Amino acid sequence: MKIEFKKDFIERYSNLTSFDEFKEISLKPLPRTIRVNTLKSNVEEVKERLKDWDLKPLKFYDKGFAIEHKKKERRDIGNLREHFLGLFYIQEAASMLPPLILNPDKNDVVLDMAAAPGSKTTQMAAMMENEGLIVANEVKPNRIMPLGINLQRCGVVNTILTLHYGERMKGKFDKILLDAPCSGTGAIRKSLKTLQIYNTGMIKKLSYDQKKLIFNAFKLLKKDGTMVYSTCSLEPEENENVVNSLLENFDDAYLEKIKIDGLKTSDVVLDFEGKAFNSEIKKCLRIWPQDNDTEGFFVAKIRKNG
Ligand code: SAM
């Protein structure tokens, strides 16, 4: 496949970061990473069973590991028996951050508004030790099946599945994860196709949809509840702009500062195409692929003031 960065992409990203560094890392394969599923196993057992593989701990999460075959003969970790058994989940390192930041516990009723294929649902279920309740929602019928299979494989029993438009859901929740549908410009290393389909019109439409989702998510949050908004996009319109809209529309929405030991972060974008954003947005987390050799991610932690 011919890899081409479009002119409007280059222009936009050159204003946001060092484009050469971004381009260089974007063309390198992502390190393979796994998360040990503590509902079925533990770090010692997984290390013991995967003796032919090098497991290098992630700097910011003791259940996450970069994994490589010791003799460099295999890359197909998805074919390992331990994967089929649900002892670990193949999950990109940065994608482990939103559940860590939301930090659900055993007493919580949690909504995962855009859940398929379930990497973050299964991570949250493990953090909750299979107690409390998770409502894992997905809008696309063909994505419900892999979500269900992943929950089953990982031994998750505290989760119910719903098939609904997130923006129309009802209920009240202690914690909400909105890992929103996005352009995926932070995940170019996983899918170079993103570069082919990139256009700024599509970004505007996604931003409009993300605002509908975040507004409803915030309405479903109990007073004093916490919510996390995340995307694997690096577009200000899908990130800072969406969070800014929430702050403009809801007086009881507050941002909490995100700090993760061992993770390099970058400055958020505080003005874009002539619009200045609320300076509170500095509390959000923006990481570029070149910061930690991961996907790019944006995460906001939002509290509803009681
Ligand atoms: N959280 C998932 C994980 O970690 O495995 C990844 C979620 S993916 C970024 C976004 C998901 O949102 C997709 O599965 C997509 O089908 C779903 N989606 C798109 N529009 C939606 C909507 N209006 N309501 C709920 N889910 C939606």
For residue range 35-77, what is the model confidence (pLDDT) as tens digits? 999 999 999 999 999 999 999 999 999 999 999 999 999 889 9
pLDDT surpasses 90 at 3:
no
pLDDT tens-place string over residues 174-224:
999 999 999 999 999 998 889 999 999 999 999 999 999 999 999 999 999
CA nearest 233: which of 1, 2, 16?
Answer: 16
For residues 48 and 139, membership in a common domain is answered with: no
Report the percent of the chain where pLDDT is more than 90: 94
pTM of this structure: 0.98
Pocket test for ligand 1, best of 112, 120, 139, 182 (most atoms within 8 A of CB): 139
Predicted confidence at residue 1, as pLDDT, reads: 62
One domain, residues 83 and 110: no
pLDDT interval class at 4 (50, 70, 90): confident
CATH number at residue 201: 3.40.50.150
Shared domain for 196 and 294, answered yes or no, is yes
Q: Last residue of a domain, which of 91, 116, 133?
A: 91
Whether residue 220 sits in one domain with residue 80: no
- CATH code for the domain in which residue 81 is found: 3.30.70.1170
Q: Could you tell me the residue range of the domain that residue 235 belongs to?
A: 7-16+94-304
Output the residue whose Cα is nearest ligand 1's atom 10. Answer: 181
Residue 25 included in any domain? no
86 and 135, same domain (yes or no): no
Number of independent structural domains in the chain: 2
| Mean pLDDT in residue range 21-30 | 94
- The yes-or-no verdict on residue 2 having pLDDT over 80 is no
Is residue 299 assigned to a domain?
yes
The best mutation among 138, 165, 210, 231 to test binding of ligand 1, ranked by most ligand atoms within 8 Å of the C-beta, falls on 138
* Domain co-membership, 163 together with 260: yes
Q: Is residue 83 located within the same domain as residue 111?
A: no
